[in-house]
Amino acid sequence: MPRQARLDSPGTLHHVIIRGIEKRRIVDDKVDRARLLQRMGDLSKETGTSVYAWSVMTNHAHILLKSGIRGLSYFMRRFLTGYAITYNIRHRRHGHLFQNRYKSIVCDEDVYFRELVRYIHLNPLRAKIVKNLSGLDKYPWCGHSVIMGKEKRDWQDRDYVLRWFGIKEEEAKRVYRQYVKKGIVEGRREDLVGGGLVRTLGGWSQVLSLRKSKEKVLSDERILGSDKFVERILEEADEKIKYHLSIDERRIQAEKAILKMCRKEGVKVEELRGGSRRGRLPGIRSRLAMDLVEKMGLPLAEAGRRLGVSTSAISKIMMRNKEDLR
């Protein structure tokens, strides 16, 4: 069955799940976790993406976010590509780090926002990484500690989350923490991460009841919400322009960027692709490599072909330009 297109309208609430390829690690230690969060935070501010809840596990991560003007695909492409490059360089490995396709679920904010914040923030407790709620309050690799004021992440929209629980901060924190505590006994919620019809109806018992009555309800694997919400999102998706670009479209973008830079700097494209290190050419090539890989999401090998250098040369350029690797 072919994969469905992403529902990628700017300003949409998404529950995003990223996983390591073949269930392998995506972080090895505190340094990796800090770099992943720094990249996510920097990009959220740059793209106007609002991050409300998150948890970084060993081989996967959850994020609740509202996409910015460039849409989810643009944000995730730059986030995952950039982090994978730094991870591979640091650990001297090659190849894919993440599963090729991250999971994203469009969510009905009015109905599910509070539940999703709680569910995502309880991940470390469900996985027994922390022993209890007090441990979760201080756990640095989950957005719950930010909401509780124990950790500071200026890119996480803490105030927006707290406003769902109260007007005054201390009261809102108390109500929020009590709400999280009540969710501990619920364990894994299939109705929040399971199939489309399960999400639409709120659980398997409702699905079985529906089957007995033979009533039809619109559902979609990509959407968490009522059938009316599903219908509205699908109608909007048909009308709005998507920001997800194919590899061919990205190649066209890359060629335009190369031509524009060469005209601006007064050099010939042939010179740039000839591998010469004369004058300003290495610096121009370096800036273009960063743009092609990080902003346009081109694979390293493809960026190398566009710039007339090897894949390893692009890797070295990326490494030199990563301030956090100095």
Q: Where are the domains of the chain?
A: 13-186, 247-321
Measured between alpha carbons, how far is 196 from 205 in angstroms, rounded to an integer? 14
Quick check: helix, strand or coil at residue 61? strand
| Tens of pLDDT, residues 165-192 | 999 999 999 999 999 999 998 866 666 6
State what percent of residues in the chain have pLDDT above 70: 76
Helices 109-121 and 169-182: crossing angle in degrees, nearest 10, is 70
| Tens of pLDDT, residues 182-240 | 999 886 666 666 434 333 333 333 333 434 444 443 344 545 554 454 444 445 444 44
Write down the mean pLDDT value for the chain.
Answer: 80
The reported pLDDT for the residue numbered 202 is: 39
Q: What is the pTM of this model?
A: 0.65
Residue 4 clears pLDDT 50, i.e. is over it = no
Measured between alpha carbons, how far is 142 from 123 in angstroms, rounded to an integer? 8
User: β-strands 60-66, 13-19: how paired?
Assistant: antiparallel
Rounded mean pLDDT of 317-324?
A: 67
Give yes or no for a contact between 101 and 49, defined as CB atoms under 8 angstroms apart.
no
Please state which CATH number belongs to domain 13-186.
Answer: 3.30.70.1290
* Distances, alpha carbon 123 to alpha carbons 118, 129, 158, 180, 247, in Å: 9, 9, 18, 11, 34
